[in-house]
Amino acid sequence: MNMSCSLAFLALLLCLSFVAAECIFPVIFNFGDSNSDTGGHAASYGDQLGYPVGRLLSNQPTGRLSDGRLVLDFLCENLNTSYLTPYLLSLEPNFTNGANFAISGAAALPKTTLFNLAIQVQQFKLFRNRSIEFQSNGFKNLLGEEDFKRALYTIDIGQNDLWIAQSYPEVIQKIPSVISEIREALRAIYYLAGGKNFWVHNTGPLGCLPASLANRKTNATTDYDENGCLTRLNEGAKEFNAKLKALCQELRREMKNSTIVYVDIYSIKYDLIANAASYGFQNPLMACYGCGGPPYNSDPECRGGNSVCEVGSSYISWDGVHYTEAANAVVASKILSTNYSVPPLKIDFFLNNIIAGTSNGAQGPVQAPTGMPGCPYWRILAHLGHVMISTCDDSDQSNRSCE
Ligand SMILES: *[C@@H]1O[C@H](CO)[C@@H](O)[C@H](O)[C@H]1NC(C)=O
Ligand SMILES: *[C@@H]1O[C@H](CO)[C@@H](O)[C@H](O)[C@H]1NC(C)=O
Ligand SMILES: *[C@@H]1O[C@H](CO)[C@@H](O)[C@H](O)[C@H]1NC(C)=O
Ligand SMILES: *[C@@H]1O[C@H](CO)[C@@H](O)[C@H](O)[C@H]1NC(C)=O
Ligand SMILES: *[C@@H]1O[C@H](CO)[C@@H](O)[C@H](O)[C@H]1NC(C)=O
Ligand SMILES: *[C@@H]1O[C@H](CO)[C@@H](O)[C@H](O)[C@H]1NC(C)=O
Ligand SMILES: *[C@@H]1O[C@H](CO)[C@@H](O)[C@H](O)[C@H]1NC(C)=O
């Protein structure tokens, strides 16, 4: 092979590789409370949250209110991506695959309180502006405008709004304004950032949390349902969920080309509690980590004197409010089954959408090419033709542009 020929051959190879593919990562932005806080509260308040919190994960505090992984962690694992980095993490953050704005204790209302939903969305807007600006200035591992459009936006909020309300009438009265905050959050992501992919969790059965039960002990058997949960609190949660579901429907019509998956966490968690034994759990209404002993081990009066159970995996509740890793794993697998989703789309539907180069929810999933290690997802760039290769020799017949 002479010089001009091998150069042309190299050029052809270059051409082909330009045609081939672009490596892309899934991008997820999450908003919410402790149910999906992967260290945001710890980063912003400087909490330690040492042993036994996070005892299944590492010897380092993980900032998660559980003994191990959260539902969101399992969803990330399913998408083969790293756990989400809290937006406020100051040391060595990695935002290649998105960011987590969720902070324990967050609610939708009041909207100006740190770090409630409206503040999280405000942080997101700033993050987006800065990320696009820095990326265009050549900084690596930051996200560009297209990444914000293709990203999956997950949201799990409302539990604290219901929790704070004192009575059932107050809960019912509060719901429309909480829903309104969630509406504004989703609209801001769509209209300002071009986000089209949404994954909305409804709220769980508040009346089955050991902390709720221990806080609101009553002697009236009519206050409890057949599984020992507080009826009124659960009715409040169900009412909230009905309105949230209606909001998703409303926004699907308004926000053209968006895909909004509504996931019924309530049914998943209630089923888990009602049929605890069949999932291998022994004490559905008792916390592993708490105090006061049976029946709830969540006595609000003896905080500080907590003891921890030996086998967390036989408990659903970790600390009276948050679930154990074992319970979160079951919840996540149910979420991933699509049985509780409207519409019943798999979470990787959104990744397939990316590969197809469209966020149009009406399009069917497109299969990712296989056998390309080292990168989770590839976008095929089919129309980069007519690249001029100046190294080619005039006399060579193969100096054609790439088609
Ligand atoms: C994640 O990786 C596993 C194992 O390589 C693979 O079977 C699965 O399809 C991947 N999931 C996604 C969403 O790409
Ligand atoms: C950052 O996250 C990306 C995506 O999850 C991962 O591939 C990469 O290895 C991470 N970088 C570092 C330095 O950990
Ligand atoms: C983001 O950038 C837009 C356009 O420059 C600007 O109007 C907006 O105020 C910025 N938002 C934040 C939170 O920085
Ligand atoms: C329930 O009844 C017991 C025994 O009669 C009484 O000591 C307790 O204070 C009652 N609790 C409430 C919340 O009414
Ligand atoms: C919706 O998607 C279609 C097809 O990709 C596109 O032509 C249209 O402009 C989009 N509409 C909006 C409002 O984004
Ligand atoms: C989902 O529903 C199908 C059909 O009803 C059922 O076979 C399957 O076990 C369900 N999966 C989960 C995780 O509930
Ligand atoms: C090769 O390239 C030269 C100039 O770049 C051009 O004049 C010539 O027509 C090309 N040959 C073919 C076969 O395309």
CATH 3.40.50.1110 fits 26-358, yes or no: yes
Q: Out of 37, 67, 319, 348, which one is annotated catalytic? A: 319
Q: Verify whether residue 264 is a known catalytic residue.
A: no
CA of 301 to the centre of ligand 4 (A): 16
Q: Is 322 among the catalytic positions?
A: yes
Q: Which atom, in ligand 4's list, is nearest to the CA of 219?
A: 1
pLDDT at 250 over 60: yes
Minimum mean pLDDT range among 39-48, 293-302, 369-378:
369-378
Closest CA to 244 of 183, 190, 184, 189: 183
- Let me know if 47 is a catalytic residue: no
3-state secondary structure of 256: coil
**d(Cα 148, Cα 131) in Å, to the nearest integer?**
10
DSSP string for 137-190: TT-SS---HHHHHH-EEEEE--HHHHHH--SHHHHHHHHHHHHHHHHHHHHHHH
pLDDT in tens, 172-202: 999 999 999 999 999 999 999 999 999 999 9
Is the confidence at residue 235, as pLDDT, over 50?
Answer: yes
Question: Where are the chain's structural domains?
Answer: 26-358
Confidence (pLDDT) at 40: 97
CA 168/CA 352 separation, integer angstroms: 43
Q: Which ligand is nearest to the CA of 335?
A: 6
Query: Pocket residues for ligand 2 (CB within 6 Å)?
Result: 25, 81-82, 94, 96-97
Model confidence band, residue 378 (pLDDT cutoffs 50, 70, 90): low
Atom of ligand 4 nearest to the CA of 217: 13
Of 34, 44, 104, 298, which is the active-site residue? 34
Indicate which atom in ligand 2 lies nearest the CA of residue 25.
4
The residue contributing the CA closest to ligand 6 atom 4 is 339
User: Could you report the per-residue pLDDT of 379-402, keeping only the tens digit for each?
Assistant: 655 444 433 333 333 344 443 332
Q: For residue 342, give the nearest of 264, 243, 233 by alpha carbon.
A: 264
Nearest CA to ligand 5 atom 4: 360
Query: What ligand is nearest to the CA atom of residue 80?
Result: 1
Distance 148 CA to ligand 2 centre (A): 18
d(CA 280, CA 324): 13
Rg (CA), the chain: 25
| 254 CB near ligand 5 (under 6 Å) | no
pTM: 0.85
Q: What is the average pLDDT value for the chain, to the nearest integer?
A: 86
Our CA dihedral for 77, 82, 87, 91, rounded to 10 degrees, sits at 140
At 304, is the pLDDT very low, low, confident or very high (cuts 50, 70, 90)? low
More confident residue, 246 or 363: 246
Does residue 165 contact residue 236 with C-beta atoms inside 8 Å? Answer: yes
Largest Cα separation within the chain, whole Å, is: 96
How many angstroms separate the alpha carbon of residue 220 from the centre of ligand 4?
A: 10
Average the pLDDT over 51-60 and give the result. Answer: 87
CB neighbourhood size of 147 (10 A): 23
Find the catalytic residue in 41, 104, 317, 322.
322
For 313, which DSSP code? G
For residue 398, CA distances in Å to 44, 97, 384, 386, 387 come to 60, 40, 18, 13, 13
Confidence of residue 68 (pLDDT cuts 50, 70, 90): very high
| Mean predicted confidence (pLDDT) in 112-119 | 97
Q: Which residues have a Cβ under 8 Å from the Cβ of 76 and sit 6 or more positions away?
A: 28, 82, 83, 84, 97
The mean pLDDT of 228-244, rounded to a whole number, is 97
Amino acid at 93: P
Average pLDDT over residues 294-322: 90
Residues 321, 381: Cα–Cα separation, whole Å: 47
Closest residue by Cα to atom 5, ligand 6, is 339
Per DSSP, the three-state class of 61 is: coil
CA distance 135 to 318: 41
Is the C-beta atom of 307 inside 6 A of ligand 3? no
Among protein residues, the one whose CA lies closest to atom 13 of ligand 6: 334
Ligand nearest to the backbone CA of 348: 1
Give the tokens for residue 288. 């592993």
